[in-house]
Amino acid sequence: MVPTRLHIPASYGLARPAGNPVAALALLLVLLCGALAPVVVWAPAAAQTTIRIVALGDSLTAGYGLKQGDGLVPQLQRWLRQHGAPPVEVVDMGVSGDTTAGGLARLDWALAGGADAVILELGANDMLRGVDPAQSRANLDAMLAGLKRRRLPVLLVGMRSTQNFGPAYKTAFDAIYPELAARYGALLYPFFFDGLAGRGEMFQQDGLHPTAAGVAVVVDRLGPLVLELIGKVTR
């Protein structure tokens, strides 16, 4: 807080005292000294600014098939508020169907409004389309490198491959997230569907996207890492 000089208004003028001129002079000096002495007051602290977290992802971030307010971002926003987070805004930059290539192409645009931290959730559509894991890795690597240059802390949300493309594909794909998180010092949530696998009631009819209840499970597990991410924000 900054000390501020309190100025005495001009209306506090000095009246010429009658009587003894010595007493009058003494009174004048006392009043002048009082008027000129600085009075220190304390200005209130500045209001805490809001931390802006950009959630860059695909339909899992965008809340595909869910009512407004039931998707990942709004549920996470509520969770953070309920768990004592500082003022924070989670910005939904999820695009249904997006791939790591799409995320890389729109990274600058997604950050154009400003960001203090990033949640990066991409790769599920790469896997579903059988994209070469080396290409997915390269795209995520480029995004993480760009975020590191911007000195933005990152929470990387991982995905795991199904067995559809064989064990070699699965091994290569599953290794992407932990290895890149270690390389760039990002926080890691290893598997988006952690806690949901094998629980059919937690998925929509397509079997791919979680219901509102499923998202709540994800948020309960993801939330503590987002609090840790907030702790890494420097102003």
Which positions are annotated as active-site residues? 59, 206, 209
Q: What element of type H or E holds 74?
A: helix 72-82
Q: In angstroms, rounded to a whole number, what is the distance separating the alpha carbons of residues 75 and 215?
A: 8
Q: How far is CA 154 from the centre of its chain?
A: 9
Which residues of the chain form beta strands (DSSP E)?
A: 3-5, 40-42, 51-57, 88-94, 117-121, 154-157, 187-189
What is the side-by-side order of every strand in the sheet holding 51-57? 88-94, 51-57, 117-121, 154-157, 187-189
